[in-house]
Chains A and B, each alone.
Chain A
């Protein structure tokens, strides 16, 4: 009986669906779909043109296939590219106008949108399928001149900023999925921090895929103007479905002189069942430009969900003395696959980058760290430090490390350290002898293994992430 109880807990906790009436674009990827999206969002003409340009460009691009995890061919004509709760077709003016079912959904996910229930002072933008349904704490932020809204709203209200920066880090023609996103992106968050402003609270977007056969193409754009600072968090979940769902997001970060952006992700999309049926294809392009001198961008990711995770949050270190950081935990269990890492492109002088990657594989899963450190000829006196640690649980999983290293000048240094270990039976025995059961023991050891990354997360997220790490690995040792 006790065992059964445990099993129930092991199920994906966020796998429920919300029964809600939605508006969808007709299936298929074509100009009409793009016009439909642009029209329903009341976008200005330049935006539609931008999308169509991307769509045209897409025709000449092929899906990349150099990655380790292979996936079944995606029929792009058989997907919905836009799905929105009907009640949100006119964006609610206040939280009172949001469909109670959606509020309920977020409550179930542990994200209260009602401002009275302050979530430790974190401002949340909630994206449900293709639209942003709520942004909290807007007034408080506006007072400081901070813009935090959905990208759709920003296109209408802040076109100059959007025009200037959208696609400036991930160009229209970058690669297949990024270009696809540029053509059909539906919603996401927009952040602008004015000069010399420290954002007084964590900004957070919560993405939820609800509708079936729907791709989610979110687009996030964050600009930290001179001397500003912002910490941004992103969380994601999706219902359990037997089909694979595509999530192809683009995230662009721009840090100007002396600005700092800290971007944290806890990704918990539905990973598929024990036999590898269903789950999200998480094919995401995330890139930050340290455009100004002394700027800093730090990525922290905890990737526990998705059937396939394929992403490389990267930093382009253009400004002199700029700093890029990448802290990653990627956990794969059952038949999950991850091919993730980062690219650190050093262009400015005295630029520094640091990469800490922790890959954990269990079950039949496969985990690859793939990274590029490229120090340009002009990036003199630059440094990189990379540490890749892999932890294996069981005999059927795999861990791979594929570092690409290019150093084109003689004054820069690159350090790379890598380890692969198996979870140690003796350590488990020791913990058991101190009264911890198998799962507590695994959780403790794995959280210890991930510590350097977990401690990068903002406090509220770190606690959540620690639990998530434990849940993702439940039942993997026995």
Chain B
């Protein structure tokens, strides 16, 4: 589904990713771990198409060259990024945002846009699955939300938009144990043979709830070690310093 070959990314004349390879197949859960500044968030940004990076190397998604696609086109084709810091948009009703977003994606997929009523029915179902209070949907997007609410909102959007590849950028940071469980349940309930996940995290904590098929250790812009779920526990004990 996602193939990355020798990816280099530079921002403000600083080389961040220094030749990264990654291959993700449908149904797989990959975790990327690594110390601060190793390039984890850069990888998430580059995959989503964020502006400002100079890129070298190849990234293909379902056979398409990602470099040819704009941010919104990538989103429409099934790449979803759960933000580390979801943005607040004052004055914009959460429901309205979610519906606009869903309809953009549906339109791109050649599906019929949802009218307000069918949308509300759908979103209420999804919110219930994630234990999200309906009232929260009529508030301004992320404005005054707690850290946990923002992250839950990201997972809600993921489940609503039904992406093929979901990238979670430190979704676990700042979450208490209950919120963490809800986020993890959200991901697990969306896991199937067709969808893939790329989970970026500092800590093993989240991986106790979402079992990855692969763990990659990113250090100084390169993947220096790949292993199975056990690697996470090992890292928890020994830290990143002893790898390399």
| A→B interface (CB under 8 Å) | 424-427, 429-438, 440, 444-445, 447-452
Decide if A427 touches B89 in the complex (CB within 8 Å): yes
B83 touches A435 (CB 8 A): no
A435-B104 in contact (CB<8A): yes
A435 and B76 form a contact (CB under 8 A): yes
What residue in chain B is nearest A429 (Cβ atoms)? B50
Given contacts A426-B87, A444-B100, contact A433 B48 (CB under 8 A): yes
- Closest chain-B Cβ to A113's Cβ sits at a distance in Å of 31
With contacts A435-B104, A435-B105, A435-B108 taken as known, whether A430 is within 8 angstroms of B83 at the C-beta atoms is yes
Q: Which residues of B contact A449 (CB under 8 A)?
A: 90-91
Given A434-B75, A448-B91, 18 extra CB contacts under 8 A? A424-B87, A427-B87, A429-B50, A430-B86, A433-B71, A433-B72, A433-B75, A434-B157, A434-B161, A435-B76, A435-B161, A436-B100, A436-B104, A437-B104, A447-B91, A448-B90, A448-B140, A452-B91
CA of A425 to CA of B97, assembled, Å: 17
The complex places the Cα of A448 from the Cα of B93 at a distance, in Å, of 8
Kindly supply a per-residue 1/0 record for chain B positions 68-94, scoring 1 wherever the CB is within 8 Å of any chain A CB and 0 otherwise. 001110011000110100110111100
**B140-A429 in contact (CB<8A):** no
A440 engages B89 (CB within 8 Å): no
By the criterion CB–CB under 8 Å, are A448 and B81 in contact?
A: no
Closest to B90 in A: A448
Would A434 and B91 count as touching, CB distance under 8 A?
no
Chain A nearest CB: distance from B173 CB in Å? 17
Q: What are 12 contact pairs spanning A and B, CB under 8 A?
A: A429-B50, A432-B49, A432-B72, A433-B71, A433-B80, A434-B161, A437-B70, A447-B92, A448-B91, A448-B140, A449-B91, A451-B92
B38 interface residue per 8 A CB criterion? no
Distance between Cα atoms of A280 and B108 in the complex (Å): 39
Partner of A435, one of B72, B86, B87, B140: B72
The closest CB in chain B to the CB of A438 belongs to: B72
Q: Once bound together, how far apart are the Cα atoms of A448 and B48, in whole Å?
A: 25
Interchain CB contact (< 8 A) of B92 among A432, A435, A437, A444: A444
Q: How many whole Å from A357's CB to the nearest CB in chain B?
A: 15
List residues of chain B with CB within 8 A of the CB of A445.
Answer: 89, 92
Measured between beta carbons, the chain A residues less than 8 angstroms from B97 are 434, 444
Residues of B within 8 A of A450 (CB): 91
Q: Which residues of A contact B100 (CB under 8 A)?
A: 436, 440, 444
Complex CA distance for A427 and B83, rounded to whole angstroms: 12
Residues of B within 8 A of A425 (CB): 51
Q: Which residues of B are found within 8 Å of A429, using beta-carbon distances?
A: 50-51, 71, 87
Interface positions of B (Cβ within 8 A of A): 48-51, 70-72, 75-76, 80-81, 83, 86-87, 89-92, 97, 100-102, 104-105, 108, 140-141, 157, 161
Please indicate the chain B residues that have their CB under 8 angstroms from the CB of A432 in the complex. 49, 70-72, 75
Contacting pair A436 B83 (CB below 8 A):
no
**Minimum distance in angstroms from B165 CB to a CB of chain A:** 13
Minimum C-beta distance from A442 to chain B (A): 12
Give Cα A433–Cα B47 distance, bound, in whole angstroms.
11
Instruction: Given A444-B100, A448-B90, A448-B91, decide whether A433 and B81 contact each other with a Cβ distance below 8 A.
Output: yes
Residue of A nearest to B75 (CB): A435
Q: Which residue of B is nearest A443, CB measured? A: B100
Q: State A449–B104 Cα separation when bound (angstroms).
A: 21
**Residue in A430, A436, A440 whose CB lies within 8 Å of B87:** A430
Interface centre among A426, A435, A444 (most CB of B within 10 A): A435
CB distance from A331 to the nearest CB of B (A): 15
Residue of A nearest to B82 (CB): A433
Whether the pair A448, B75 counts as a contact (CB closer than 8 A) is no
A424 and B89 CA atoms in complex are apart in Å by: 10
Closest chain A residue to B92, Cβ basis: A448
From A445, which residue of chain B is reached at the shortest CB distance?
B89
Residues of A within 8 A of B89 (CB): 427, 430-431, 444-445, 448
Residues of A with C-beta under 8 A to B49: 432
B161: A residues at CB distance < 8 A: 434-435
Contacts of B92 in A (CB 8 A): 444-445, 447-448, 451
What's the Cα separation between A427 and B71 when bound, in Å? Answer: 13
Which of chain A's residues have a CB closer than 8 A to the CB of B81? 433
A451 to B49, CA, bound (A): 30
A452: B residues at CB distance < 8 A? 91
Minimum CB–CB distance from B201 to chain A (whole Å) comes to 19
CB distance from B102 to the nearest CB of A (A): 8
Minimum distance in angstroms from B140 CB to a CB of chain A:
7
The docked-state distance in angstroms from the alpha carbon of A426 to that of B48 is 13
* Interface contact A434-B101, CB-CB below 8 Å: yes
CA distance A471 to B13 in the complex (A): 37
Q: How far is the CB of A359 from chain B (nearest CB, A)?
A: 15
A449, B90: Cα distance in complex, Å = 7
Instruction: Give Cα distance in the complex from A76 to B75, angstroms.
Output: 56
- A residues less than 8 Å from B70 (CB atoms): 432, 437
**Residue in B closest to A424 when the chains form the complex, CB atoms:** B87
A174 CB, nearest partner CB in chain B, Å: 37
Q: How close is A319's CB to chain B, nearest CB, in angstroms? A: 33
In the complex, what residues of A have CB within 8 A of residue B104's CB?
434-437, 440
Per the bound structure, the CA–CA distance linking A44 and B141 in Å amounts to 59
How far apart are the CA atoms of A429 and B84 in the complex, in Å?
A: 13
Most B C-beta atoms less than 10 A away, residue of A427, A432, A437, A445: A432
Docked CA distance A23–B28 (Å):
77
**Cβ of A86 to closest chain B Cβ, rounded Å:** 47
Chain B residues with Cβ below 8 Å from A447 are 91-92
Measured CB to CB, the nearest residue on chain B to A441 is B72
What's the minimum C-beta distance from A429 to chain B, rounded to whole angstroms? 6
Alpha-carbon distance A450/B92, docked complex (angstroms): 10
> Chain A residue with minimal CB distance to B103?
A435
In the complex formed, the residue of B with least CB distance to A427 is: B87
